[in-house]
Amino acid sequence: MNCQSIRTTMFAALVAFGTTIVNAEEFANLGELLDKGAKRLDAAELKALIPGATSKGTTIGGRLDMETAYSADGTATGRSWGGHPEMPPSYSGTWSINEQVQLCVDFMAAERTIGRMKACGWWYSFNGVYYIAASEDRGAVIRTRKMQR
């Protein structure tokens, strides 16, 4: 077997393995996630999870991949990729937890002023994986969040 064949075989194995993992964590909507037994994080759980962590995932609209680092002082910085070339690749701002126990962010692009990015979402946990939804509606789109410290 030559090097090219080995690389092709390894790539195929990684794709197949990755697909299995992604499919195990994908849900059509919030209702499906809840039906499987997901739990919405309460204020204490969010306060323990977010400060000092970095979140990786896609935007709720699914248009951009993003990575956000949340500091204990309520500030956050991040970067995005995969969007339109005119979209700035980095942002900074603040994060907070509101009365509805949503994580809220208020960001501005670092490179250009194209307006603010404000959003709030509820966080859920299922089998050690985190998910975020912008609505409590059972049909709401959810996005996976990978957390790192």
> CA dist 2 to 11, 13, 146, Å?
14, 17, 36
Q: What percentage of the chain reaches a pLDDT higher than 90?
A: 58
Q: Return the pLDDT at 65.
A: 87
Stretch 87-116: mean pLDDT: 84
On whether residue 17 sits in a domain, the answer given is no
Residue type at 98? N
Average pLDDT over all residues of the chain? 80
Name the pLDDT band for 59 (thresholds 50, 70, 90): confident
Alpha carbon distance 72, 80 (integer Å): 21
pLDDT at 5 over 50: no
Q: Which residue has the higher pLDDT, 95 or 64?
A: 95
Q: Return the pLDDT at 19.
A: 28
On whether residue 5 sits in a domain, the answer given is no
On whether residue 8 sits in a domain, the answer given is no
Q: What is the pTM of this model?
A: 0.76
Domain that includes residue 124, residue range: 28-148
How many independent structural domains does the chain possess? 1
Looking at residue 100, which CATH number applies to its domain?
2.40.128.640
Sign for the CA dihedral angle at 25, 27, 32, 34 comes to positive
Alpha carbon dihedral 50, 56, 62, 65, in 10-degree steps, equals 130
On whether residue 15 sits in a domain, the answer given is no
Within 10 Å of residue 14's Cβ, how many Cβ atoms?
A: 10
Helix (H) or strand (E) holding 130: strand 129-133
On whether residue 6 sits in a domain, the answer given is no
Q: Return the pLDDT at 38.
A: 97
On whether residue 21 sits in a domain, the answer given is no
On whether residue 40 sits in a domain, the answer given is yes
What's the burial of 83, exposed, middle or buried (CB within 10 Å: 0-12/13-18/19+)?
Answer: middle
Residue 57 is encoded by which pair of tokens?
A: 């995932």
Name the pLDDT band for 130 (thresholds 50, 70, 90): very high
Name the pLDDT band for 63 (thresholds 50, 70, 90): confident
On whether residue 118 sits in a domain, the answer given is yes
